[in-house]
Structures are given as C-alpha cells and as structure tokens.
Amino acid sequence: MLSVANFIMRGPKQAFIATLILSILTVWIAPLGVLVGAIIALVTLRVSVQEGFKVLLVAMVSVLAVTSYYAGSMLPGWVAVFEYMLPIWLLSWVLRQTDSLALSLSLNMLMVGLAVIGFHWLVGDPVNWWQQVFKDYLLPVFEQSGTAYPQQMLESITEVATLLLAMFVVVLWFSIILLGRWWQSRLYAPGQFQADFYDIRLPKNIAFLAVIVALLGLFTQVMLIQDLSSVLMAGLMFQGLAVAHHSANKRQLNGFWLGGLYVLLFLFPQTILILATIGLIDTWVDIRNRWSQS
C-alpha cells in the first residue's frame, strides 16, 4: 500500500489518476474505498486542504457517475461518498490544523453521534425500520434461493443494527485517517506516526460523557442511549489501543503480544469493552506517563 502513496505524491496528476481508477473500482470492490479515503487524507495532510478537496471532487464525481450509469441511481454512490470520502476530508482538515489525532477522533465521534441522533429522530423506531429493510431486500433473496427466511435471527440483529453500524463507522473513518497519517510519516517523517499514535488521549469531557451514558444505560433501556454508548466505546477503544502499544514498546514486549491482542479484538467483541475501559481510566490516571516515569 505504501507504493500507492509513493505514486500519488509524485504530483497532482498522479494523485488524480490513482483516485479516478480506485474510485471507479470501488463501485464493484467496495473495500478499495479505504484506499480512496487514505489518498484524500494524505493529500490534505501533506499538500493542502484545497488540493485534498480537489481529490475529493474527483472521487465523488467518478463514483456518482459510474453508479448512476450502471445502477440507474446515484444512491449507492452517495453511500460511498459518506462512507469513505467526505468525512475523511473533514477529519483530515482538522488533523492538519491541530496536528492532533485525538481531536480528529473526537470530531469523528461527534459526527457519528449526531448521525445516530438524527437517524433515531427520522425513523422513530429503528428496530421496525431495520426489520422492514430486511424484509424488502433480504426476504426476496431467500425466496429466490429457496432458503428459509431466518426471521428470529434477523429480528435479533435489528435490535443492535444501529449500534453495530455506528461503531463500525467510527472505526472505519479513524482507521482511514490513521492509514493516511502512516503514509505521511513513512514518506516524510519516519517515526512520527508512532509518536502521534502513542499520544492519543481524548478530552476529559468525553470521558465524563461516557460515564454518564454508561450509567444511563444501566438504569434505562432507551435504545438511543445504547447506540450512543457504542460511539463512545469505539472512540475510547483507540485510546486503549494507544496505551497497549505504548506499554508494549516501553516494556520491549514481543510483537506477538500485540498480534494476539488484535486476534482477540477480531474474535471476541468483548475486547472492545476492555480496551475502552482502559482508555477511560487512562483519561484520568495517565497510565502512559506513569509507566514512562517508572
């Protein structure tokens, strides 16, 4: 992937070509949108906000035009724009101005949190909304394949669909920002990414909000509270990961320890809660500074 960064930083023409090709391919291979977002982030961080916006426009026009031509609708294209492109440019802009991954992550959480609140306000009952979506789009697929429609399983999924989607978006957007920052560090400032990542520490007001939302979640069954808690948990997870990486580096632990942590994170969702708790504690205790002094 670093070869992609090398190519696009040779000049504006190369950046536009790479963005155009990857944006078109994203219509059929959605994960390539991560690279499109990372290109937008790198150009914004390294060159300028204006050049990053030009790359963003190339990506947007390409995706919208191709999806409109092949799908007969721009809706899938707009999904890609908001999933991989526009928010990444905004977050990169903040990171360029503040030079703080923590503030970029804070804006990420704020944007997703507001989107969750807006979604609840628009649809009223998210569970019924997701059930209707599944019936409209998944039920015909099961009927055509002659497979029984797993109604009970899907009804259980609809209860946590908004929560999982919100958490996924926080992780996706910030992971793309991290990729763009890593490219920038490898090409122009070796070692800077590690220092920036180790320094992730969310503001204390976010920690206070996380505690309040967690307490409300214990005593109420309001779905909006549960969904917002996932946004806070995903953000604090990155702070917990920063603590884990910092401690592994300070104690010179084998890389397999961190590899094992990511395996656990992938296999057991409860690991997210553990890392978020570590991040929450670090906000007040400053674990990294204490270990550095010891």
Give yes or no: residues 94 and 105 share one domain. no
Looking at the structure, do residues 80 and 107 belong to the same domain, yes or no? no
Q: Are both 135 and 244 inside the same structural domain?
A: yes
For tokens 């649809």, name the residue. 123
What pLDDT score was predicted for residue 133?
85
Q: Which residue carries 């309001």 as its tokens? A: 222
pLDDT at 293: 56
Radius of gyration of the chain (CA): 20
DSSP 8-state class, residue 61: H
Do 212 and 92 sit in the same domain of this protein?
Answer: no
Q: Do both 215 and 287 map to the same domain?
A: yes
207-246 confidence digits (pLDDT tens): 888 889 888 877 788 899 999 999 999 999 999 999 999 8
From 48, 68, 98, the end of a domain falls on 98
Confidence of residue 64 (pLDDT cuts 50, 70, 90): very high
What total number of domains does the chain contain?
A: 2
pTM higher than 0.85 for the full model?
yes
The pLDDT of 57-84, averaged and rounded, is 92
- What average pLDDT does range 259-275 have in this prediction? 89
Supply 214's token pair: 């967690």
- Mean pLDDT computed over 66-74: 89
CB count within 10 Å of CB 162 equals 24
Q: Mean pLDDT throughout 179-194?
A: 92
- Give yes or no: residues 110 and 192 share one domain: yes
* Alpha helices per DSSP H over the chain: 2-8, 12-26, 33-46, 49-71, 75-80, 86-98, 101-123, 126-137, 139-145, 151-188, 192-198, 204-219, 223-250, 255-267, 270-285, 287-293
Is 24 in the same domain as 94? yes
- Picking from 98, 131, 149, the residue at the C-terminal end of a domain is 98
Residues 102-128 have pLDDT tens digits of 999 999 999 999 999 999 999 988 999
The verdict on 152 and 67 lying in the same domain is no
Distance CA 221, CA 178 (A): 34
Backbone angles phi, psi at 232, to 5 degrees: -65, -40
Residue 47 sits in the same domain as residue 116:
no
Per the model's pLDDT, the better-predicted residue between 2 and 48 turns out to be: 48
d(CA 146, CA 89): 44
* 272 alpha-carbon distance from chain centroid: 14
Q: Are residues 112 and 53 in the same domain?
A: no
Location of structure tokens 């990444």: 88
Q: Do 115 and 63 share a domain, yes or no? A: no
Q: What is the pLDDT of residues 137-183, one digit of tens each?
A: 877 877 777 777 677 777 788 888 999 999 999 999 999 999 999 99
Taken as a whole, the chain contains a residue count of: 294
Percent of the chain topping pLDDT 90: 56
Is the pLDDT reported for residue 292 higher than 70?
A: no
Q: Are 135 and 279 part of one and the same domain?
A: yes
pLDDT digits (tens, 9 = 90+) for 20-30: 999 999 989 99
Question: Across the chain, what does the average pLDDT equal?
Answer: 89
Which residue, of 66, 98, 130, is where some domain finishes?
Answer: 98
8 A C-beta contact, residue 181 and residue 193: yes
Domain extent at residue 246: 101-294
